[in-house]
Amino acid sequence: MNRRELLSAGGAFLLPATVAVAPAAQTLPLVGVLRMNSPGTERFEPIFRRDMGRLGWQDGRTIRYRYAFAEGQPERLDGLAAELVQAGSQVLLAFGLPGIAAAQRATKTIPIIGLADDLVGSGLVQSTSRPGGNTTGVAVLGYELDARRLELLHEMAPHASRVAIVHDPGSGLKDGPAKLAQAGSRLGLTLTFFPASSRRQIEQVLDAIAGSRVEAVNILASPVLNGARAQFIARMAAIRLPAVYEWPETVDEGGLLAYGPRLSLCFRYMAVMLDRILHGDRPADLPIEQPTADTLAINVGTARALGLPLPPSLLLRADVVVD
């Protein structure tokens, strides 16, 4: 990709050699951003604005953004996507399989950049190398790491034989729970699955977990679940249960353990793709990006508060340790 230097070691950006004079506001390209959660619950906006700024795109001067938030209610996605199209968005950014599908239902022509587990396996694009249609994006393939996260949780809390699996049925492949159940069986664990696809269901699941006999929790990848990470972190601390998350950044906020690609890297991929599309590339020809670097993050302070002894082998392998 022409600007792959942006993703090199250290995350350095190459600024454009010249800065064009900003056109009148009404002629600035408008980017519609479809979010599953509420304002203030996501890290996306400040990181993405920074990355776009380093590519030469300044909000209000050379580009405009319009945000639509579903407030944790998936049933609102279709209406919000339609509103972004009617507002004149020239590119749509969408998150999670339901969000991307809603954007595709709203338009067959406006370019869509999505971030989800598996864009190909879900049928949202034709192939990794040539997505086809009007959609490209970033596939984190989080379900491929679900078993690995379960292993790490077991290593962190070997006493925990009963594990709750919190998953969003709308954000992953249908056979994901079955594969995770097989991994649990190999580890000698008893898994209980708790589905949650909305903010209301998350509250119910947290209450159910608190009243159950589970001894640890694995929270799978999902925009809805990630948007509720503060709730999960607080409740896990209150009921003293170890939990593992997908995004390493969650550990910075008090989560015990996380393993997966950095969310900030995924946002950076999206910025580079948006820059290319705004310069004339077609989404059909932009290969799906797949982060290959996974980060193991541990919060020592949270482990200490839970009374968990930290296995030295786990600490030695950690990429990020927060105290």
**All structural domains of the chain with their residue ranges:** 4-140+262-285, 143-260+295-322
Q: Is 290 left (phi over 0), alpha (psi -120 to 50) or beta?
A: beta
Dump pLDDT digits (tens) for 92-114: 999 999 999 999 999 999 999 99
pTM summary value: 0.85
Average pLDDT over residues 284-290: 96
Answer whether residue 179 shows pLDDT above 90.
no
Cβ of 170: how many Cβ atoms within 10 Å?
19
Please count the CA atoms within 13 angstroms of the CA of 277 that sit on its side-chain side. Answer: 29
User: What per-residue confidence (pLDDT) applies to 292?
Assistant: 86
Answer whether residue 3 shows pLDDT above 50.
no
Question: The domain 4-140+262-285: what is its CATH number?
Answer: 3.40.50.2300
Dump pLDDT digits (tens) for 240-270: 999 999 999 999 999 999 999 999 999 999 9
CB contact set of 97 (below 8 Å; sequence gap of 6+): 116, 117, 122, 124, 170, 171, 172
User: What per-residue confidence (pLDDT) applies to 26?
Assistant: 60
- DSSP annotation of 288: P
Among the residue ranges 25-29, 224-228, 235-239, the one predicted with the least confidence is 25-29
Dump pLDDT digits (tens) for 184-198: 999 999 999 999 988
% pLDDT > 90, the chain: 73
Answer whether residue 40 shows pLDDT above 90.
no
% pLDDT > 70, the chain: 90
CATH 3.40.50.2300 for the 143-260+295-322 domain, yes or no? yes
What single-letter amino acid sits at 302?
Answer: T
Answer whether residue 14 shows pLDDT above 70.
no
Angle between helices 77-86 and 96-106 in degrees, nearest 10: 50
- Please choose, from the candidates 129, 133, 130, 103, the residue with its C-alpha nearest in 3D space to the C-alpha of residue 116: 103
